[in-house]
Structure 1
Amino acid sequence: MDAAPQPYADQAALWNGLAGRVWVEMQDLLDQMFRPLEDRLAETVPAGSDFAVLDVGCGTGAITLAVARRLAPGGCSVGVDISEPMIAAAKARAAREGAPADFICADAQTHPFEPAGFDMILSRFGVMFFDDFTAAFANLRRAAKDDAALRCVVWRSPEENPFMTTAERAAAPFLPAMPARRPDAPGQFALADIGRIRRVLAEGGWTDIDIRPIDVPCAFPESDLVRYFTRLGPLGLILPQADERTRARVVKTVRAAFDPYVRDGQVRFVAACWMVAARAR
C-alpha cells in the first residue's frame, strides 16, 4: 500500500518525511504481509552463488537481507533507496544480523552505479515511483553486467487489488480532501499496464522481456488491522489532519469495510501482481 501519488519532485520529501518514518515503524507488519513475495523473489537468486545483486527501492532491507543469506561469501547484496530513514533502519537490521549486505541512500534513476557491476537486479514494489521510467531502467541497464537478469514484482491494477484501496474508498465520504490516485503518476499502480512495462523496459535497453501475472495470498493478524489502515497509504497521510470526531467515524467505517477480509483472527488478501523478467543482452 503506497503513499498518496505525488509529483516526483515530492517523492524524496515524502519518503524522507512522514511516509519513510511510518514505513520504518511498520516494518514488522509490512515484512509479515509481504513475506510470500519476498520468498518468491529472493529464490530467483541461485543459492550459494557469488553474484552481485542490487535490490532497487529496498526500503528497510527485507529483500536485500534475504538475498545476502543465499549468497556465497564471494557474493554481495546491495540495497538502494531514496529514503534516509529506511536506509538507516536497513543498515541497523544488517548489523544486528551480521549480514553481508550494503545499502546506498540514493535515487536509483540517476545514481552513478559502477558500470556493469551487477549479475542480478531485483525489486519488490520499488520501481513504480520513478519520474522517468525509461531513464531509470536505462540507468539500471548500465549497472548490469551483460546477460544480467532483472526480476521485479509490481502491482497490477487497483480493480484487481481491491484490498489495497478499501481504506481510502470507505473513508472518502468523510475526507473529501484526500487526494485521488493518478494512474500514470509515480505510485503504487504506475506500472499496472503491461504495455507500459514492456515499452519502458525496451526503451531502457532490456531484452527477453517476460511479464507474468502472479496472485499471491498474504496475511497479517487482525489485531494489526487498525494500525495498518490508519498509518499507511493515502488515508494514513491525511487522517492525522482530521478532527477527533471525524477520525473516530473514519476508523469505525473503514474497519467495517475490511470485514470481508477477516477470518480466524487473520486479515487475508491476494496480492495481484506482475512478475517482470528481462535480460541485459
Structure 2
Amino acid sequence: MDVTRQTQDEQTALWNGTAGRAWAEAQTVLDAMFKPLEDLLVEAVVASAASQVLDVGCGTGATTLAVARRLGPQDRCTGIDLSEPMLAVARARAEEEGTPASFVRANAQSHAFEPASFDRIISRFGVMFFDDPARAFANLRHSAKDSATLHLIAWRGPSENPFMTTAERAAAPLLPNLPARRPDAPGQFGFADSNRVHRILAESGWTGIDIQPIDVTCTLPEKELVPYLTRFGVLSRFLPELDDPSRARLIETVRAAFEPFVHGADVRYTAACWSIGARSP
C-alpha cells in the first residue's frame, strides 16, 4: 500500500522500522492470507526439480521455509531481505521447526552473490521495491546458473486490486494531504505494467520471458480486518498524527468501505497478480 516514491535508503529505513515490525507482528495473519500464492511458487519449484533456490524479498520466511521443507537433504533454500525484524522471525521459525533454510540480510539489488549459485529464483511480492530494477535483475542473473529459472509473483495494477486501494480511497476525504500513487515508482504496484517488466528483464539479460495474469482468492478473518487496516498502508502513516475523535472517525469510515469484502466471519478478495517467468541464458 505504498503511495510515495522511496529511495533504497528510505526502503531500508522503512522495512527496518515501522513496516518491518508490523509485518513481523502480523506474520501469522499475513502468511495465511497469502498462502495460495505461496503454494503456487512451492509447487513450481518442486516440479522444476530445483535444488538451489533463492527467495527474494523473503520477509518473515514463509515461502522460503515452505520450499526448504520440500527440498532434499543436499538441497538448500536461501531467503534474502532488507528487514532485520522480519528476518529475525524467519530465523526463529527455521530454528524452531528444524528446517534447513538460511537467511541473508542484504539488498538483492547490490548484494555480492556467489556467481552461478542458484538454479531457481523466486519471489512473492518481493521485487517491486528496487529503485533500479534493471540493475537488480542483472545482479540476480549473475547469481543464477546457466539455464536457471526465475518465477515471480507481483501485483497487477491498482484498478484491478480494489481491496488494496479501498483504504486510501475511503480515507482521502478525511486526509487532504494524502499523496497520490506514482506509476512505476518502487512500491506495491511497481510492476503493474507488464510491458515495463518485460523490458526490465530483457535489458538485464533474462530470456524466455513469460508474463501471465493470475487471479487468486485470498482470505483473512473478519476480526483481523481492523488490525490489518490500522497496521498497514495509509492508516498506519496518519493515525498516530490524529487526535482520538479524528482517529476513531477515520477507522470507522475506512472499515465501512470494506463491507463488500466481508462474508460472515471471513474477508475475501481477489489478488490480481502477474506470474512472471524467465530463464538465465
Alignment TM class, shorter chain as reference: over 0.9
In the alignment, is the contact (CA less than 8 A) between 2:38 and 2:63 conserved in 1?
Answer: yes
Q: Counterpart amino acid of 1:274? A: W
Q: Which residue of 2 aligns with 1:108?
A: 108
CA distance in 2, matches of 1:82, 1:4: 19
Q: How does 1:200-215 map to 2 (within 5 A)?
A: 200-215=200-215
Deviation for aligned residue 1:264: 2.1
Q: Which residue of 1 aligns with 2:5?
A: 6
2:130 partner SS: coil
TM-score, length-normalised on structure 1?
Answer: 0.97
In the alignment, is the contact (CA less than 8 A) between 2:184 and 2:192 conserved in 1?
Answer: no
Sequence identity of aligned pairs in percent?
A: 61
Q: Which stretch of the first structure deviates more once superposed, 242-251 or 193-202?
A: 242-251
Q: Which residue of 1 aligns with 2:181?
A: 181
CA RMSD in angstroms comes to: 1.2
Kindly tell me: are residues 93 and 48 of structure 1, through their superposed partners in 2, closer, same or farther at Cα, counting changes over 3 Å? farther
In the alignment, is the contact (CA less than 8 A) between 1:157 and 1:192 conserved in 2?
Answer: yes
CA distance in 2, matches of 1:46, 1:237: 39
Does residue 55 (structure 1) correspond to residue 52 (structure 2)? The answer is no
Runs of 4+ in 1 over 4 A off after TM superposition: 47-50
Could you tell me which runs of 5 or more consecutive residues in structure 1 were left unpaired when the two chains were aligned. Answer: none
Kindly tell me: are residues 48 and 179 of structure 1, through their superposed partners in 2, closer, same or farther at Cα, counting changes over 3 Å? closer
Deviation for aligned residue 1:50: 6.1
Q: Which residue of 2 aligns with 1:128?
A: 128
2:116 partner SS: coil
CA distance in 2, matches of 1:164, 1:7: 19
Q: How does 1:76-87 map to 2 (within 5 A)?
A: 76-87=76-87
CA distance in 2, matches of 1:264, 1:86: 31
CA distance in 1, matches of 2:71, 2:56: 18
2:86 partner SS: helix
TM-score, length-normalised on structure 2?
Answer: 0.97
1:44 partner SS: helix
Q: Counterpart amino acid of 1:67? A: V
CA distance in 2, matches of 1:250, 1:76: 46
Instruction: Give a deviation string over 1:9-68, Cα, whole Å, max 9, x none.
Output: 311011111110111011111101100001011111126946110000000001100100
Q: How does 1:185-264 map to 2 (within 5 A)?
A: 185-264=185-264
Q: Which residue of 2 aligns with 1:269?
A: 269
CA distance in 1, matches of 2:206, 2:99: 31
Number of positions where the alignment pairs a residue of Structure 1 with one of Structure 2: 280
CA distance in 2, matches of 1:260, 1:269: 9
In the alignment, is the contact (CA less than 8 A) between 2:125 and 2:154 conserved in 1?
Answer: yes
Q: Counterpart amino acid of 1:159? A: S
CA distance in 2, matches of 1:215, 1:246: 36
Deviation for aligned residue 1:248: 0.4
